[in-house]
Amino acid sequence: MKIAVLSDIHEGLNRKKTGADMMGVLKKWITSHSPDVFIISGDMTAGPEKSLNLLLQLQQSCPQTKLLFVNGNHDVYAEDSKSAYQTLLQFPGNLGNGPVELNDHWVVIGDGGWYDYSLGIEGFTQEQFSIGTFNDFTWPDKTYAHWLRPDQEETNQYLEKLESWLEKYQGKKVIMVTHFVPFSRFLFIKNDLSWDFFNAMMGSARFGELAVKYGVKKYIFGHIHTRYHEQSHDMEIICNPLGYYPDEWNSDDAEEEIFSTIKVLEI
Ligand SMILES: [Fe+2]
Ligand SMILES: [Fe+2]
């Protein structure tokens, strides 16, 4: 079984900056490579309705491939992020709807996740992270995402849901998916507070702890626009973002960048 992986497509921004038909390129890749499953681990574009429509259209135009998705922070940029999250659940392949069994052995368990400052550096209070401003820069989620509860409580909701599913599927081989970062070693510490302060908003160490506790075989995430693929003990860890054109791309051509970036796992 072939599983394709990509995150952080940021369709709107990248389409505007490159002029390319991002979805047309994705469709072309899927049609020519025919993976059984395509996992998009968040940041499809900005705003829930737009993300939902892109996912529905892509699934409709590639019916042979099962599209799976977890929401990123950009997908829930809305006046009410909780209802944005609910809107995105209308996509049948949204893993927030529940685990997806691929065959008798493998199951995909995931949800977008959020952050609880557990990856934050020392020297700042929870309140400072909660305000999310360092010098004159405020973390964009503080402006564009609106949850009813503090970040830590939102993260707890995700953790509880994920753990209940992981518990239920013990004995199966699990591919776990979140948008947010599960392990601190994937963060850059630049020893520059104007960067390092915002590592608090990258994810939660508790996602990683869950993955280790339940012996997850593969972990797929996104959010940081740096590509990683490593085998760590018994876990294969993949972060495979497209990221922003031009700074984070290797090519000026959208088709070349997308085709060379998508990763295919075999199970
Ligand atoms: Fe992103
Ligand atoms: Fe993100």
Ligand 2 centroid–CA 66 distance in Å is 23
Ligand 1 centroid–CA 10 distance in Å is 7
Count of CB atoms within 10 A of residue 109's CB?
27
Which ligand sits nearest to residue 144's alpha carbon? 2
Q: What is the largest CA-CA distance in the chain?
A: 52
Ligand 2 centroid–CA 221 distance in Å is 10
**Sequence-ordered list of residues with C-beta below 8 angstroms from that of 178, at least 6 positions apart, any chain:** 41, 42, 70, 110, 111, 112, 113, 158, 162, 203, 207, 221
| Three-state secondary structure call for residue 13 | helix
On whether the CB atoms of residues 61 and 26 are closer than 8 A, the answer is no
| Three-state secondary structure call for residue 4 | strand
Which ligand sits nearest to residue 74's alpha carbon? 2
Spatial separation of the C-alpha atoms in residues 174 and 62, rounded to whole Å: 25
Ligand 1 centroid–CA 6 distance in Å is 11
**Sequence-ordered list of residues with C-beta below 8 angstroms from that of 192, at least 6 positions apart, any chain:** none
Kind and range of the H or E run holding 160 = helix 151-168
On whether the CB atoms of residues 135 and 197 are closer than 8 A, the answer is no
- pLDDT one-digit tens code per residue, 31-78: 999 999 999 999 999 999 999 999 999 999 999 999 999 999 999 999
User: Which residues surround the ion ligand 1 when the cut-off is CB under 5 Å?
Assistant: 8, 43
Which ligand sits nearest to residue 241's alpha carbon? 1
- Tokens representing 30? 């899927």
Whether the pLDDT of residue 8 is over 90: the answer is yes
pLDDT of 263 reads 98
DSSP 152: H
pTM (two decimals): 0.98
Percent of all residues in the chain with a pLDDT value above 70, rounded to a whole number:
100
Which ligand sits nearest to residue 8's alpha carbon? 1
Range of 189's domain? 2-266
Alpha-carbon Rg for the chain, nearest whole angstrom, is: 17
Ligand 2 centroid–CA 223 distance in Å is 4
- What is the pLDDT averaged over residues 104-111? 98
pLDDT of 233 reads 80
Which ligand sits nearest to residue 115's alpha carbon? 2
**Sequence-ordered list of residues with C-beta below 8 angstroms from that of 237, at least 6 positions apart, any chain:** 183, 218, 219, 221, 228, 229, 230, 231
pLDDT of 125 reads 97
Closest CA to 202 of 139, 261, 148: 139
Backbone angles phi, psi at 35, to 5 degrees: -70, 155
| Three-state secondary structure call for residue 2 | strand
CATH of residue 160's domain is 3.60.21.10
Kindly report whether the peptide bond that precedes residue 246 is cis, defined as omega within 30 degrees of 0: yes
Spatial separation of the C-alpha atoms in residues 141 and 33, rounded to whole Å: 35
Domain count within the chain: 1
- What is the pLDDT averaged over residues 252-262? 98
Ligand 2 centroid–CA 179 distance in Å is 7
Ligand 1 centroid–CA 52 distance in Å is 16
Ligand 2 centroid–CA 242 distance in Å is 11
Which ligand sits nearest to residue 201's alpha carbon? 2
Which ligand sits nearest to residue 113's alpha carbon? 2
Q: Where are the beta strands (DSSP E) in the chain?
A: 2-6, 37-40, 66-69, 100-101, 106-110, 133-134, 137-138, 173-177, 218-221, 228-232, 235-239, 263-266
Ligand 1 centroid–CA 170 distance in Å is 31
